[in-house]
Amino acid sequence: IQEAAKAIKENKTLEITKTSGKIGVSHPKYQAYETAIGKRDFVDDIHFEGLLYAALKFSDYPKAKVIKIDIRKASELKGVHRIFTAKDIPGEKKVGLILQDWSVMINEGETTHFIGDVIAGVVAESDEIARQAIALIKVEYEVYKPVTDVFKAIDGERVHAERPNNFDTSQFTISDADKTLKNTKYTSKGSYQTQRIEHAFLEKEAAIAKPDKKGGIKLFSQSQGVYEDRRQVAMILGIPEEKVRVTLVPNGGGFGGKEDLSVQGHTALFSYLLQKPVKLTLTREESIRLHPKRHPVFMDMEIGADEKGKLTALKLRAVGDTGAYASVGMKVLERVAGHASGGYFIPVIDIEAKTVYTNNIPNGAMRGFGANQVAFALESCIDDICKQAGFDRWQFRYDNALIDGLSTSTGQKLQGVGIRACLEAVKDDFYQAKHAGLACAIKNSGVGNGMIDESKVIIEIVSENLIRLHHGWTEMGQGVHNMALQTLCEETGLKPEIIEVLVDTEAQIKTGMTTSSRATALVGLAVINAAKSLKEDLKQKTLAELTGKTYKGAYTCDWTTKPGTKVEEQITHYSYGYAAQVCILDDKGNIAKMIAAHDAGKIMNPMLFEGQIEGGVHMGLGYALTEDLPMKDGYLVHDKMRKLSVLRAHETPEIVVKGVEVKDPIGPYGAKGIGEIGLVPTAAAVANAFYQFDGVKRYKLPLLAANSPI
């Protein structure tokens, strides 16, 4: 960015390092230069002739019956084109990624579920006028007491009349944990609690929609899944999916927070009904109020080890506050359950993880997706057992680490396991440090659990100087465009500078949400599939001769199984990533250095790999130490970015990244997903470092709010 700014100031062109673009090369981030100098428009930068602006009226109460919505004064404001309420929705009134439970707008006579529920929308000549009109909308409520305590909610008054608050439970057992723990030499038992936090992505939610000439709508979106946008927008409008076109606009950060529909549905609705282009951009406060956060999870965990230092059993009872709407909450708690044994073989398992509605802000996908919450509990218990028995902390983890052929807590036998290799990579750093905390991690790739993971691509030969590579995954900084481009270069020998990467539903190559650290593997395998025919054709013809030809490729994983189901072989996910991290403290108890060893299977792009892990560790440190988004009685205690306590650059310690390559049997070139695992063991490593420093065991995050030595 500094180099780009200098080039702009001096009116010069920045020289970009050229590479072969092949796998294993630090090829520059796709369109990084254009982004840095402002040539790639984000949604809010885009303008169309006749563009109108929208704003939303949010609920004043977390739980209240809407008696009357008075829009008279707002309608009279000069510059207002129209005010919309739930009565104007021609199609479905509720949407959702898994359960169709999220109200697009709350109608008169209906009850709000949280403070981010939308009551009405205004479209006007300017954003300023739209917001002035929103302030003039008067809503009469019958206010109720919200359900905000997750434990009281389990058997309490229903948030949604149609289903119980504890609407999903992940549960599975292997043998008898209670009996095994009772007869085990050493046990550690504790109640652990993690907090709600905000994603804090730089770009706020925004969307633009404009009608087409065929009775459909075109949507410009920054979401994590353009095909999910298309599906849900079509539901709201009551039209076929084919009439909704969604184009991915550069995304300014997501981390899971842009999976659920936020403003896309409202923007498309307003534009469709007005037959005019409409833009809707949230303020930072509205963004924090609306989109799902990281789940607060409450965990009662007990583990055991014998006198030889072998783990014998694990019992977990977890409860997750998923807030007002399901989002992907049941899948987050499913991951809590499925990752409970972490990177270790524990032969006896008893796990139950409950997903519970409350009237708090919804909680859904966020980087780590449940694995980091349970890692904090597990790794804390392991250090406790090591202290009780005098076991060496590194050796205990190494001896109990998963290896090929051993199984996770779900019963899945793994191949290509890199836990021991990661531990070996941090061994010297751990033993040389005076005060050090150690933690390991495992993180799935792919949604799995019986759901289908699929990816499709199209390689379009436009000319000898332009190849368009179409796929369905969202680039939000993690480098998926690079993975697609570099795989194509590797397979065909084509030059990267002639390849353009596009994501648009017009290509009709449906994929799922960009989530679960799966995009590298799935897009890579699909590109390899598509490139086979192109590679053969290039042996006989030039690109000029192939102009106009397209090559399609796909990859589908449809063989995973849901934990707890009776199957011959349990395969919860097609792939996993592995890690070991060391947190080193100075003599005052401050974090001096983080060592992060991560098994990527095959490091596709060393520069991007290092950046991903550094960013993950930074996010993990904030989660461990300072970040929190507290709520009281269904309201946010604060809604300002500056109050989130995200660690700043000068507060971040030195981060040393060590790449490990233990090939995955499925991934392209043996690659594994690393988008999330960078922060999975971090909080646990920090908590264990503090425990070693002062002997005080921590049970609650963030640590600086829970008697930390700092």
3-state secondary structure of 514: coil
Contact yes or no for 656/685 (Cβ under 8 A): no
End-to-end alpha carbon distance in the chain: 34
Average pLDDT value for the chain:
96
Q: What's the pLDDT score for residue 257?
A: 96
Contact yes or no for 252/201 (Cβ under 8 A): yes
The pTM is what? 0.96
Question: Six-digit token pair at 361?
Answer: 């802000």
Those residues of the chain that have pLDDT short of 50 are: 706-710
Question: Six-digit token pair at 486?
Answer: 């570099």
Burial 382-403 (b: 16+ CB within 10 A, else e): bbbbbbeeebebbebbbbbbbe
Distance CA 421, CA 594 (A): 18
Instruction: Identify which of 526, 653, 533, 522 has the alpha carbon closest to the alpha carbon of residue 585.
Output: 653
Beta-carbon count within 10 A of 240 CB: 9
Q: Tell me the one-letter amino acid at 21.
A: G
In order of their start, the domains of the chain are 2-40 (no CATH), 52-144+205-281 (3.90.1170.50), 167-198+292-448+567-705 (3.30.365.10), 453-557 (3.30.365.10)
Q: What's the pLDDT score for residue 566?
A: 86
3-state secondary structure of 379: helix
Distance CA 616, CA 595 (A): 12
Distance CA 461, CA 467 (A): 5
Question: Six-digit token pair at 372?
Answer: 């980091």
Contact yes or no for 62/112 (Cβ under 8 A): yes
3-state secondary structure of 80: strand
Contact yes or no for 136/115 (Cβ under 8 A): no
Q: What's the pLDDT score for residue 17?
A: 80
Residue labelled with tokens 């796929």: 471
Instruction: Identify which of 181, 436, 449, 160 has the alpha carbon closest to the alpha carbon of residue 313.
Output: 181
Q: What's the pLDDT score for residue 652?
A: 97
Question: In the beta sheet, which residues pair with residue 94?
Answer: 103
Q: What's the pLDDT score for residue 3?
A: 76
Query: How many DSSP H helices and E strands does the chain contain?
Result: 18, 26
At how many degrees (to 10) do helices 480-492 and 519-538 cross?
30
Q: What's the pLDDT score for residue 706?
A: 47
pLDDT (tens digit per residue) in 89-112: 999 999 999 999 999 999 999 999
Output phi, psi for 343, to 5 deg.
-90, 25
